[in-house]
Structures are given as C-alpha cells and as structure tokens.
Structure 1
Amino acid sequence: MANHSQFGFQDASSPIMEELVQFHDHALMVALAICSLVLYLLALMLTEKLSSSTVDAQEIELVWTILPAMVLIMLALPSLRILYMMDEVNEPDLTLKAIGHQWYWSYEYTDFKDLTFDSYMIPTSDLPLGHFRLLEVDHRVIVPTESKVRVIVTADDVLHSWAVPSLGVKTDAIPGRLNQTSFLASRPGVYYGQCSEICGANHSFMPIVVESTPLANFENWSSLLSS
C-alpha cells in the first residue's frame, strides 16, 4: 500500500503491475534522453556554437524527422503489448463480480452457490487499533494466491471505478454495462484500493480490500461463508 511521502508506485504484486512499472521506468528514461538533447541544443544556440548553416542543413532536418518517429515506436510497442496483456482474460481460475453502489461495494463469487456479500468501510470510531483509517472494510475480497481471477465490474446507480493499484487493476463500473478485467496475485498479502470515479458525497468512503491467501485457506473460507 502507499506510504507517507512515497515517491513512485506501490510495490507490484501482480505480473501486470510489474510490466506497468517497467514501462513507466522505460518511458521516463526516454523522456530524460529527450530533455537532455533539447537542453544540449539550447545551450549550443545560446553560446552561438551552432551556426546558421547547420540549422538550415537538410541532414539535420532528416534527423529530427526520423528521431521522433523512432521514439514513438519505442514507446508504442511495449505499451501495446501491455494493453493486450491487460485485456486478455482466458480460462480464469475464479470469477468475481463487483457491483458499485452509493457508497459501498457488493461482491458475487459466480463459481460458488450463494457466495455474496456487501463490503462497507469500517467507521473510524469502530476501527481496531493498528488498522488503516478510511481503508478497512467489514468484508474483504478473498482470492487464492497464484490464481487468475476475472473481475466483472458494474454499478447499480452511478459511475464508479474498481481500482487496486498494487495489482494493476482499474476498471470503470457503469450502470447497465459489464466491464471485465483480470489479475493474478503473485504473493499472499492484503491490497488496498478505492473507488476512482467521483460518485457523490461519500466517494472517498468506499474502499476496496483484496486479501490474497493460499488456496487451502481460500477453500476453507469459501466453504464457511457459503454454508
């Protein structure tokens, strides 16, 4: 989860988020190279070391036409690869339906019978010692570790957005429409998210908590909850 004065993304806990962090670093390096080149040329202009004949040279014009195209290709190829990975949902191990309401989430495990629950934020006055304010819920989403989870996202009233940054997941919840995404939690842990679409007065008070646990623990939890 995020920490105070944190600079950068949260720790990646899924393969997709690892790819996104690597692409972010790649894009920053490209941007740094462009800025360095522009500053270098600007310094040459200010010190008059770049003559007017060089500025009007066709060779230079050819370079500054081809170079931006190469930069765009360097950014587009890995970006398209990640986009295809994020949209690919093949043979999930578990399907979860998340429904946004004002201002809470409800969940349905479609692979199980009668495994549904609502998830409300725990008020600060009822929060146990050591828990996180405005982030804890009364019922967490439990998923098995190293299992591909498909999430079907929709809303009951207004626009919402189901987002868990550590897992690289952010999908709009639109009334009357089903959107889907997927993730694979690469290690056990508790991952926090929030509604990322302004949805009214209590938009900030509908957090998302996903707990990744070993498969045996998940099976015990699901059997207890559905019984």
Structure 2
Amino acid sequence: MAHPLQLGFQDAASPIIEELLHFHDHALIAVFLISALVLYIISTLISTKLSNTNTIDAQEIEIDLEPAVPSLGVKTDAIPGRLNQASFIISRPGVYYGQCSEICGANHSFIPIVIESLPIKEFLN
C-alpha cells in the first residue's frame, strides 16, 4: 500500500517483484557512479590549466579593426573599449601570420598579426 510522501516503490507482494526491486537498487548505484564519473571528466576538461583565452588588444585604437589569420581560418572584429578575444584550435606548432582585413584607413592592410603555436609540453615549461 502506498503511503503519503513515499519516495520509493510500494512493498513487493511477490518474489519476482522483490528481485526486481533489488536489481533496481543495484542498477541505480551503477547509474549514479557512472554519472559522477562523467561529471568529473567534464569538469576537469572545462577547468584545465591548458585552456587559455588569448585576447587581441585593440582598446587603444579609435577605429574598428578586423584581424584575420587566413591559414587558421580566423577572422574577428576588434572593437575599441571592449574585451576582444577569439578562440581557435591549432593542430600543429608553428608561426602563423595575418593582417587587418578591414579597409578602415590608410595602410590598415599592413597591420601585422603574428600567432606562435607551441606543443603543450613546451608551453608548460
């Protein structure tokens, strides 16, 4: 018989249901452990020391810039007075060059952009 505010199942009236309730309890423990493991893995991936948000500093400039690095497929707007940042994944180490791709003034296409990519072990040392 069910009771008010009952959180579990009703009392079993047959041996098959009793075994099913025991199986449910054991399966629930396994589901809880797997969920805790997945939550731990996700939290360690999100809060790793290797993740870094590199900002493109364009706060002193009074016009809008659009820095681009074609070999990485990165093109972003840099607005003065705001925190300007872009995230991307680089698959191999090297030095990558880019320029301003916005026609916003004289010689703006000659503003250099250099990104140096390092292996994780070198970066941490």
TM-score by length of 2: 0.52
In the alignment, is the contact (CA less than 8 A) between 2:65 and 2:100 conserved in 1? yes
Q: Which amino acid in 2 is paired with 1:194?
A: Q
Please tell me whether residue 199 in structure 1 is matched to residue 111 in structure 2: no
Q: How big is the shift at 1:93?
A: 0.4
Query: Identity of aligned pairs, percent?
Result: 63
Q: How big is the shift at 1:155?
A: 5.9
For residues 18-167 of structure 1, the aligned pairs below 5 Å read 93-100=51-58, 156-167=61-72
SS of structure 2 residue aligned to 1:158 = coil
SS of structure 1 residue aligned to 2:71 = helix
Quote the residue 2:118 is aligned against: 213
Q: Say if 1:219 and 1:199 are closer, same or farther in 2 by CA, change over 3 A.
A: farther
TM-score by length of 1: 0.30
- Structure 1 residue ranges, 4+ long, deviating more than 4 angstroms after superposition: none
Aligned length: 78
Structure with greater proportional strand content: 1
Q: Which amino acid in 1 is paired with 2:122?
A: N
Q: How big is the shift at 1:169?
A: 0.9
SS of structure 2 residue aligned to 1:183 = coil
Quote the residue 1:22 is aligned against: none
Q: Distance in 2 between matches of 1:180 and 1:98?
A: 5
Q: How big is the shift at 1:179?
A: 4.4
Match of 2:75 among 150, 167, 170: 170
SS of structure 2 residue aligned to 1:217 = helix
Q: Which amino acid in 2 is paired with 1:93?
A: S
Q: Distance in 2 between matches of 1:217 and 1:98?
A: 22
Q: Which amino acid in 1 is paired with 2:56?
A: A
In the alignment, is the contact (CA less than 8 A) between 1:155 and 1:174 conserved in 2? no
Q: Say if 1:96 and 1:163 are closer, same or farther in 2 by CA, change over 3 A.
A: same
Q: Say if 1:98 and 1:180 are closer, same or farther in 2 by CA, change over 3 A.
A: closer
Structure label with greater radius of gyration: 2
SS of structure 2 residue aligned to 1:218 = helix
Unmatched runs of 5 consecutive residues or more in structure 2: 1-45
Q: Distance in 1 between matches of 2:104 and 2:85?
A: 20
Q: Which amino acid in 1 is paired with 2:108?
A: H
